[in-house]
């Protein structure tokens, strides 16, 4: 598990991502019990965790108090067909599953969010849309802090020429035949008004660095879990 001290220092949130050591925190990990075991050790009220049935789209859900617990340990009750969560509630952990896709953590005055930005979501500008959604709720982009968690790095994310062309046409950065989702999401956040000095890229590649499940590196169904929660009383 990695905790994101940089974000926690800038906003009253708890933010972390599980890895191999904690076991499979994806839906199959629900069946095997490893997700529950992992959540029991996490520094959050895990019974209140809200998760998504992700679909590589750009839909963002505003999580309400009554959603607490949806998808905590079962897929059936998770919020359906969305790839981003934002919430003004404290003590309500928001979660996404990733294994190479970029988890984009967002925190601002009284609000936090989490976005699943894989290649497809990034090409659909989901991080940028999350910032704009927050702006519609009167959260100024310049008040936000963003962190890009461990994910497929530009060092390793090689794609076919066709996929490269399609991705670049959607605004995704590329270096040679490698896509750079970190740079792309960084640029989207800056473009949406988040100050550059308010953005931290963890720089941890899930493919070539140990510690995290990697879809590309392992051909696995196991998933890491990214979580953010506003601390209570703040």
Residues at the interface with Zn ion (CB under 5 A): 153, 155-156, 205, 207-208
Q: Which residues contact 182 (CB under 8 A, 6 or more apart)?
A: 102, 148, 151, 153, 154, 201, 203
Nearer to Zn ion (CB atom), residue 61 or residue 205 = 205
Within 8 A by CB and 6+ apart from 132, the residues are 192
Q: Which residues contact 8 (CB under 8 A, 6 or more apart)?
A: 14, 15
98 or 107, CB closer to Zn ion? 98
Comparing CB distances to Zn ion, the nearer of 60 and 205 is 205
Q: In whole angstroms, how close is the CB of 155 to Zn ion at the nearest point? A: 3
Token pair recorded at residue 95? 């979660």
> 179 near 119, Cβ under 8 Å?
yes
Of 156 and 190, CB closest to Zn ion? 156
Residue with Cβ nearer Zn ion (135 or 155): 155
Residues 6+ apart with CB under 8 A from 217: 100, 156, 206, 207, 208
Cβ closest to Zn ion, residue 46 vs residue 151: 151
Min. distance of Cβ 205 from Zn ion in angstroms? Answer: 3
CA angle 156, 226, 174 (to 5 degrees): 25
Listed in sequence order, the residues at least 6 apart from 127 whose beta carbon sits closer than 8 Å to its beta carbon are 104, 115, 117, 146, 185, 188, 189, 192
Distance CA 107, CA 113 (A): 6
In the complex, what is the shortest distance from the CB of residue 225 to Zn ion, in angstroms, rounded to a whole number?
A: 21
Contacts with 186 (C-beta within 8 Å, 6 or more apart), sequence order: 148, 199, 201
Tell me the closest approach of the beta carbon of residue 208 to Zn ion, in angstroms.
Answer: 3
As measured in angstroms, the least distance from the Cβ of 147 to Zn ion is 18
Q: How far is the CB of 209 from Zn ion (least distance, A)?
A: 7
């Amino acid at each position: 598990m990695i905790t994101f001290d940089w974000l926690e220092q800038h906003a009253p949130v708890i933010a972390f991502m599980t890895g191999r050591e904690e076991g499979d925190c994806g839906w199959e990990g629900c069946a095997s019990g490893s997700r529950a075991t992992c959540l029991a050790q996490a520094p959050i009220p895990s019974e209140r965790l809200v998760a998504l049935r992700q679909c590589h789209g750009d839909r963002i859900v505003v999580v309400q108090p009554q959603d607490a617990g949806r998808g905590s340990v079962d897929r059936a009750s998770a919020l359906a067909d969305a790839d981003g969560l934002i919430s003004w509630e404290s003590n309500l952990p928001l979660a996404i599953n990733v294994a190479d896709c970029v988890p984009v953590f967002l925190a601002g005055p009284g609000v936090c969010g989490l976005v699943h930005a894989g290649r497809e979501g990034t090409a659909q500008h989901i991080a940028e849309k999350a910032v704009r959604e927050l702006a519609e709720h009167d959260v100024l982009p310049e008040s936000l802090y963003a962190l890009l968690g461990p994910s497929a790095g530009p060092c390793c994310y090689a794609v076919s020429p066709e996929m490269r062309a399609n991705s670049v046409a959607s605004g995704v950065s590329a270096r040679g035949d490698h896509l750079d989702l970190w740079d792309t999401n960084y640029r989207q956040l800056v473009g949406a008004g988040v100050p550059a000095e308010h953005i931290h890229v963890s720089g941890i590649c899930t493919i070539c660095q140990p510690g995290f499940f990697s879809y590309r590196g392992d051909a696995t169904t196991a998933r890491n879990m990214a979580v953010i929660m506003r601390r209570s009383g703040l």
